[in-house]
Structure 1
Amino acid sequence: MNNLLEQANLIKDEIVSYRRHIHANPEVGTHLPTTTKYVMDKLTEMGYEPKEICDSGIVATIEGSKPGKTFLLRADMDALPMEESTACDFAAKNGAMHSCGHDMHTAMLLGAAKLLKQNQDKIEGTVKLVFQPDEEGFTGAKKMIEAGVLQNPKVDAAMAMHVNSGTPSNLVVCGLGTSIGGCNRFRIVVKGHGCHGAMPETGVDPINIAVHIYQAVQEIVTREIVATQPVVITFGKFAGGDAPNIIPGEVVMEGTIRTLDKAVGEQVFSRMNDIVTGTAKMFRGEAELIELSSVPPLTNDKALANEVTGYLKDIVGEQGIWLFEGGGMGSEDFASYSYEVPSLYLILGAGAKNENPEFGEPMHNTKVVFNEDVLPTGAAIHAYSAINWLKNNK
């Protein structure tokens, strides 16, 4: 087992080819037919019998020589709807882009699938490989769970890994406890009555209502939530009207609520609904708060985190692991797994500016470039974690 990283480096060219093919052919959202077929074909070539358990959701299992528990490894496959502007030879040309590294994740798990086949006699139990759609839309994990991904065989622990631009290559970052925020995506539709701008008294101004809603909602954070509880409410869309002298009939606002506590997120959404409907009524209009999607805060199981990162020192060294407590407000739909089974979510550094000027651009940026040298490390981390956890948790 000590040479698993060496084995991964021997198949680096294959893992890189997986990544580049997926990167050049990105697909967005819940339906990823080209990506799904590619991944299933590669798994089949390796000797797996992959199954599509929901639209674009793939599961493949591998059993070892001895019976035992089941460890799940998950990768996301969806891209983002943005035009790529990198100088990569394999840059996407179809108006979508893997600017969050999901192509890296899928390639690393395919690499792990090959390593697990090569070391199948060392598996004491079952490893379940999961490739899912729509992480970005927060529906993928929920659909996979509803489709039974945690059953047949029943999953005992789960792990996922995400590359990060700007973090030194091959540094493994792991939060202990709740480390990633939950997110509610919402839309507010404000309806008034359009009229000429010279005679506002003849209509009901939805822009005025929307402005008051915007201001009032921020008061939830400053006056209704304890100061030590982090909450971020962001409006990223505020749209209404087509002409400067016409009051429109409708305004649409969209945004996110982010918290580190599921109950707090529910409280904020409930109070926002009160404010939205009450404010609209006060100004003679109507308004509706609609939840577009949601994901709870992500909580790493501390015992699982400490155990697995202990194994990973064999892969990245003592100085290659950084454990921390607390969390940030980015969101990740792997969180849904963490409410069902003990789960672990790792960050793998994929290149900083001091390594290469091309590295280190922000995630979700049209110019982000990831260091492909971390791909074998990620594949080895997946396989090594699964084999060791199963061996030590019979």
Structure 2
Amino acid sequence: MHEMLVKANAIREQIVADRRCLHGMPEVGVYTPRTAAYVKKRLGEMGICHRDCGVHKPEDREKMVFAGYPDAPAATGVVGLIGRGGPCILLRADMDGLPMEETTGLDFAAEGRAAHMCGHDAHAAMLLGAARILKDMEEQLPGTVKLMFQPGEEMGYGSRTMVEDGLLEDPGVDAAMALHVGPQLEVGKLNYSPGVASGAMATFIVSIQGKGGHSSEPQKTVDPVNIATQVCSALNLLIPREVDPEAFATLTVGALNGGRASNIIPDTAEIMVSFRTLSPEAYDHLIERVPEILDHYIKAWRGTYSVRVLKTPSTVCDPGFSAEIVPFAAQVLGAENVRPVPPMKGAEDFGHVTRHVPGFYAFLGAGAPEGHPLHNPNMVLDESALPLGSALLANCAVEWLKSRAQR
């Protein structure tokens, strides 16, 4: 058994206890005060220097309230530091839950309208476990490990609130790593995607202002519902006519709201549209073209509008950094259990970090193929995966720092 796994198994009860405690108090969005307080308490008990990190811009706060999420007065990220000087590697765990009810029946199941059905409780617990291991060997570290506990991953921008608050500075981060548990992946397996690892996503919330009136006198009105339908039709032509057919890209108008009666032309209408793609070229093209179509079609029919845009870039596994990290992961799990796979099409906001520094992102098995998937109210994790995650994070950090020190 690898040395790091021995260390992780020695604190297995604490890792599991952390996970279960966090599991029972899920919080949604970038404002997770109880979760952040728990993390800070645990870091303090370990003697790890830490600080609050995250700035919630007024425009982001307004967008999320408008989209129907609870108000978030602040971003409650936490950053810890272990070691000093030399190169710096960042280890990331997200810690927010989902706005849904849990139906697992577990003794420590969450109650209410929030739940940890994406495993972020496990991510935070595994990083706390890795922090304990790394703190115990701090004097031997040839550099610095920065611990990133982030809120708001499910919002698509929680990590950005921390980047904008100096996450990657003082000390400067040279590389970053993140793990995500996989409830339908066998325990002990590690899947990663070389290059683009997750889909990029952008959401446009468009409020169209027209001029209401009686349906018998449409010439006296500016019909926002008619404008909205024209916009939707035009947007749905973008991918089949302007994106390479070999690129994965989808565009969905998920909401079109306007009017309440057949004989009234309303004043306003609203559409919500989002696209996802694995192609950086398609992402850049669509980010430019969607606003152009909105502007031209709405103005062509004499309407005015406002638009709120939420963007999450692709997470990228840097080829060079990945080539360094994979062997260190294999030391813990065995080379036969670490494998490259195609990228996931869902979004992952670790991309806000990998835009700035080389990154590595992987799924750690924490279940079985027949298990319930992520975001399912019955999703259950195999807790034997937790010490594996802690050992994996700690070993990759230590060995990478050693390899850099030897250069």
TM-score by length of 1: 0.91
Q: Using a 3 Å threshold, how does the CA distance of structure 1 residues 211 and 159 change in structure 2: closer, same or farther?
A: same
- Report the AA paired with residue 27 of structure 2: E
Q: Which moved more, 1:368-377 or 1:268-277?
A: 268-277
Indicate the residue corresponding to 1:343 in structure 2: 359
Indicate the residue corresponding to 1:380 in structure 2: 391
Matched, 1:321 2:341: no
Instruction: Determine the C-alpha separation between the residues in 1 that align with 2:266 and 2:103.
Output: 37
- Show the 5 A alignment for 1:25-36: 25-36=25-36
Instruction: Give the C-alpha shift of residue 197 in structure 1.
Output: 4.9
Query: What SS is found at the alignment partner of 1:165?
Result: strand
Given the alignment, which residue of 100, 103, 106 partners 1:82? 100
- Show the 5 A alignment for 1:139-158: 139-158=157-176
Instruction: Determine the C-alpha separation between the residues in 2 that align with 1:391 and 1:50.
Output: 24
Q: Which moved more, 1:136-145 or 1:254-263?
A: 254-263
Q: Could you tell me whether the CA contact under 8 Å between 1:71 and 1:390 is conserved in 2?
A: yes
- Show the 5 A alignment for 1:66-105: 68-105=86-123
Given the alignment, which residue of 148, 151, 164 partners 2:182? 164
Instruction: Determine the C-alpha separation between the residues in 2 that align with 1:83 and 1:99.
Output: 9
Instruction: Give the C-alpha shift of residue 281 in structure 1.
Output: 3.1
Indicate the residue corresponding to 1:107 in structure 2: 125
TM-score by length of 2: 0.89
Indicate the residue corresponding to 1:390 in structure 2: 401
- Report the AA paired with residue 358 of structure 2: P
Instruction: Determine the C-alpha separation between the residues in 2 that align with 1:170 and 1:215.
Output: 47
Instruction: Determine the C-alpha separation between the residues in 2 that align with 1:263 and 1:231.
Output: 11
Instruction: Give the C-alpha shift of residue 196 in structure 1.
Output: 4.4
Instruction: Give the C-alpha shift of residue 349 in structure 1.
Output: 1.8
1:296-350 C-alpha deviation (Å, 9 max, x unpaired) = 12211112112211111121112211113x5232111111211211111111122
1:356-376 C-alpha deviation (Å, 9 max, x unpaired) = xxxx22322222222222111
Instruction: Give the C-alpha shift of residue 192 in structure 1.
Output: 2.5
Given the alignment, which residue of 73, 76, 87 partners 1:56? 76
Query: Which runs of 5 or more residues in structure 1 are unaligned?
Result: 355-359
1:169-217 C-alpha deviation (Å, 9 max, x unpaired) = 2211111111212111211222333344566555333222222211211
Indicate the residue corresponding to 1:333 in structure 2: 349
Instruction: Determine the C-alpha separation between the residues in 2 that align with 1:99 and 1:82.
Output: 8
Query: What SS is found at the alignment partner of 1:136?
Result: helix
Query: Which runs of 5 or more residues in structure 2 are unaligned?
Result: 55-74
- Report the AA paired with residue 321 of structure 1: V
- Show the 5 A alignment for 1:1-394: 2-54=2-54, 55-63=75-83, 68-197=86-215, 200=218, 202-291=220-309, 293-324=310-341, 326-354=342-370, 360-394=371-405
Instruction: Determine the C-alpha separation between the residues in 2 that align with 1:363 and 1:245.
Output: 45
Q: Could you tell me whether the CA contact under 8 Å between 1:171 and 1:316 is conserved in 2?
A: yes
Instruction: Give the C-alpha shift of residue 290 in structure 1.
Output: 2.7
Instruction: Determine the C-alpha separation between the residues in 1 that align with 2:229 and 2:365.
Output: 41
Q: Using a 3 Å threshold, how does the CA distance of structure 1 residues 243 and 89 change in structure 2: closer, same or farther?
A: farther
Q: Could you tell me whether the CA contact under 8 Å between 1:174 and 1:305 is conserved in 2?
A: no
Instruction: Determine the C-alpha separation between the residues in 1 that align with 2:116 and 2:384.
Output: 17
Q: Could you tell me whether the CA contact under 8 Å between 1:138 and 1:294 is conserved in 2?
A: yes
Q: Could you tell me whether the CA contact under 8 Å between 1:100 and 1:363 is conserved in 2?
A: yes
- Report the AA paired with residue 315 of structure 1: V
Query: What SS is found at the alignment partner of 1:170?
Result: coil
Query: What SS is found at the alignment partner of 2:360?
Result: strand
Instruction: Determine the C-alpha separation between the residues in 1 that align with 2:256 and 2:101.
Output: 23
- Report the AA paired with residue 328 of structure 2: Y
